[in-house]
Amino acid sequence: MTGEHSLFNVYQPRPLILIISGPSAVGKDAVLNGLKQRRDLPLYFVVTATTRERREGEREGVDYFFVSNETFKKMIEHDELIEHALVYGENKGVPKAQINQALHSGKDVVLRVDVQGTMAIKSLFPNTVTVFLLPENEPTWLRHFTRRNSETEDALQVRIQTARDELKRVHEFDYMVVNAEGKLDETIATIEAILRAEHHRVHPK
């Protein structure tokens, strides 16, 4: 009876760390905001720090922590970031305090991390589940770059080339999900299904 009883206690799902990543203009923010609207999965959303300017509609402490280059440098010096990287000329990093709070929440932890930082976090937390968002096709994807109208042509071309290089790293991720135009709900449903499946692994990562 003891063996049988212990078998029924095997299923004790542990919180997962989920990284949403992918190239620029693929819709990471839209996917993250969509996940925040879902109430059927307990999720903790980690807010990253960045030195880039705040865009219209973005909220401090919700979308990002917007900090100066000087403040970001001090965060690095004081070992306050779990990882950081220079992305498109701006610094981005994940505060350790955010991760610590998240891991103690008992919820699945969701991070939006650029491709450069994903593997750094996964090396520290091997059970991290990584999802790479892909654009539906190149013409639709490239249109998203020009909609912002917030950078010079040269800067835009650098961003596009960097994004193309990031696309080549999809094989480093656990899952790839196409974020098709007008099908955000399908993208979010797929990510939710990934989380549910990961919780049912016989041998957790």
- Residue 160's pLDDT is what? 87
Long-range contacts of residues 85-92, Cβ cutoff 8 Å, at least 24 apart: 85/114, 85/116, 85/117, 85/120, 87/114, 87/116, 88/24, 88/52, 88/158, 88/159, 88/162, 89/155, 90/50, 90/51, 90/52, 91/49, 91/50, 91/51, 92/48, 92/49, 92/50, 92/51, 92/52, 92/117
Domain extents in the chain = 16-199
- Residue 41's pLDDT is what? 80
Could you give the CA distance from residue 98 to residue 104 in angstroms, rounded to a whole number? 10
- Residue 57's pLDDT is what? 86
As annotated, the active-site residues are: 55, 148, 159
- Taking domain 16-199, whether its CATH number is 3.40.50.720 is answered by no
- Residue 14's pLDDT is what? 79
pTM: 0.85
pLDDT digits (tens, 9 = 90+) for 49-95: 999 989 888 889 888 999 999 999 999 999 999 889 887 778 999 99
- Residue 90's pLDDT is what? 85
- Measured at the CA of 193, the angle between CA 132 and CA 106, to 5 degrees, comes to 90
Q: Which residues of the chain have pLDDT under 50?
A: 1
- Residue 4's pLDDT is what? 54
